Amino acid sequence: MNVVVKSDTWAASRLSVAPMMDWTDRHCRTFHRQLSRRALLYTEMVTAPALVRGGATHLLDFGSQEHPVALQLGGSEPGELARAARMGADHGYDEINLNVGCPSDRVQSGRFGAVLMREPELVAECCAGMIAAQPLPVTVKCRIGVDDQRPDDVLPDFLSKIRAAGVRRVTIHARMAWLQGLSPKENRDVPPLDYDLVHRMKAEFPDLHVSINGGITDLDQVETHLARGLDGVMIGRAAYHDPAMVLLEADQRIFGETGPAPTREEVVHAMLPYIDRHIAAGGKLGQVTRHMLGLFTGQPGARRWRRVLSEGASRPGADRELVLEALGEVTRAAA
């Protein structure tokens, strides 16, 4: 196996953008990379059965400009996950992550995601197989527990078992997942956050690299968690809906870069060559620009920016000129 690990995800995970189904596709990740060169990006969850049994290797496609980038896998069969992890390594990803946090009904029925919090031994077996199968770091994203479990008891046991399997980095979504009675959307908001528990886990497992996820919306909060001793912070929906607020100054504030942060306008212009290539290859403008709608959130002209892109991107022949038209609306509003 001839694999080159292109990026240090250990350092990059100081700030990461969460894997989000239907959102963090390769177009989204390319856009986010224009705002931050350093933050760790994740794919949408890709199921091991789709890769191994379904041959859906197109789900692994990504661009070299996305590094550092991690592949998140879903599954519960150790051998299948090992093969999927090896495929991810062969495709050039920087990290393989196992999803033990998604609460959707579809994921539960496939015996993966948050329901695996009930089977830490199986998770450990899966992780051990993935680690043995390929050279990249294998990490886990989990919840603090599910349903009637007691997080103070369950989470330390879970972390002990995956650590014994060879896992050295974990991201903990600081909420329970209530698999009975709540929708996936409600599971992102309704169960109360327990940040202190995650901080206690870092104290109890000082050799583990621990990142926190859940309800974090800006860099001030990121800096607070890092100052309290955590190794990393993962942000989800806020990084998608207001990407500039989360990512535009991240390299300077979180990673210590000394150069200037890009402007929103520079980010737009940086995306134009990618948009040109995507359209030339037969893609549609809206597949890219739907991820860019929040770029000017809170700025003059934000509504006009969203309106021009939302109304025009699906029209036949829509290309970079529509993006420049939308940017012109922002410029005029700010004048």
102 is catalytic: yes
Number of other residues whose CB lies within 10 A of the CB of residue 280:
9
Candidates 63, 85, 66; CA nearest to 74 is: 85
Give the whole-angstrom CA distance, residue 95 versus residue 275: 27
Structure tokens belonging to residue 334: 């700010």
Q: Give, in degrees to the nearest 5, the angle at Cα 167 between 79 and 184.
A: 75
Number of other residues whose CB lies within 10 A of the CB of residue 173:
28
- Residue reference for tokens 């527990």: 145
Structure tokens belonging to residue 185: 């959307």
Candidates 313, 310, 295, 306; CA nearest to 247 is: 295
Number of other residues whose CB lies within 10 A of the CB of residue 332:
11
Strand, helix or coil for residue 175: strand
> Half-sphere exposure (CA, 13 Å, Cβ side) for 301?
18
Q: What stretch of H or E contains 121?
A: helix 120-133
Give the whole-angstrom CA distance, residue 283 versus residue 318: 11
Q: Which of 28, 102, 126, 142 is catalytic?
A: 102
Catalytic residue numbers read 102
